[in-house]
A and B are shown apart, each in its own frame.
Chain A
Amino acid sequence: MGWDGRIVDGTRDDLPFAADMELNWELTTRWLEAFLRDEVQRRRGFSRVVVGLSGGVDSSVAAYLAARALGRDSVYGYRMPYRTSSQESLDHAQLVAEDLGIHMITHPIAEAVDSLLSHDAGEVSPHRLGNVCSRMRMIVLFDQGFKLGALPLGTGNKSERMLGYYTWHGDDAPPINPLGDLYKTQVWSLGRYLGVPDVIVDKPATADLIRGQTDEGDLGITYARADLILQGLLSGYTAEQLIDRGFAPDEVEVVRARVDSTHWKRQLPTTAMVSDTAIGEHYLRPVDYAR
């Protein structure tokens, strides 16, 4: 007697972790709005936020979320151009501010950056200039926040954070960040859901330091591929297992190498421990303790 039943290959042929990438954006938005209200208003006692508007999708999405969560009158968007910043970036930042009806202030950083660098005869590479601009923008944002009684809002996404594609104590400095656990491709999707203008969501991501520069060109991989590989690695798959599931060895290596070389950027400064009361080692309190 033979087997008459149907033979079915029941093996899943999709990537089990890829399904987690497309989120319910209505639910996610509600969650992030609640996060902003709790962290800004209830825990920290602020009613306003300041956010740097670069004209890119990350800062735009952060501004849209903040306006929904806190009200447009509570959001202050800052354009902080350097000499290399493109007019298109400035225009897109203005588009966001006008669409939302939030406050918009333009605070150029060129004079401060050039003054700082003029005291040093060393070479100013794009990388070095990018770091100085990033940190200068944070000086402006924190100072303006102090003046207004407003909390600086972070806009870095999970892809940048995992790949180390940001300036330590620069872009990552603001005390709260609604986007830090969303990959770049997820921020694009969230931007479309929130109604961020297509011209902003659809343009290539760029640090805006050199004409024609793009994030994906700098990284050597598209965010679409990098995000899937990151999600696989963070879900516990080894590089070999990802290659076995169809990723190219060189693209996995690009991501793995960036992640492994930038763990330090995702940490506070390393402190030499000499006692049994070391902060963060023995003395451990959460960020919102007694608030």
Chain B
Amino acid sequence: MATGVKSRVKLPKTARAGEVITIKTLITHRMESGQRINDDGTAIPRSIIHRFTCDFEGAQVVDVTLHPGVATNPFFEFRARVPRAGVFNFTWYDEDGAVYTDSKMISVT
């Protein structure tokens, strides 16, 4: 299992109902591609996050499939519409079965 995985999500704390906000997400993960070779000639085992999703209380915003070509510490930026006050959920799925989650409250003014 990948160690030291820490997620960071940036979005406004408040918005108007229906407003479009920019969401930035980052998670610390080596995204080891499985292509790199050790000094002793053996391949470093592949270890990647293969899926990332963002939803607002069950309504999908984005669902991303990641391949080894996504750089270390996968970063995503996208835009979402805020229907009402609520919670944005962020989920990262590691190929080793681990699931990392984060969530952010947003209030409507």
A binds B: no
- List residues of chain A with CB under 8 Å of any chain B CB: none
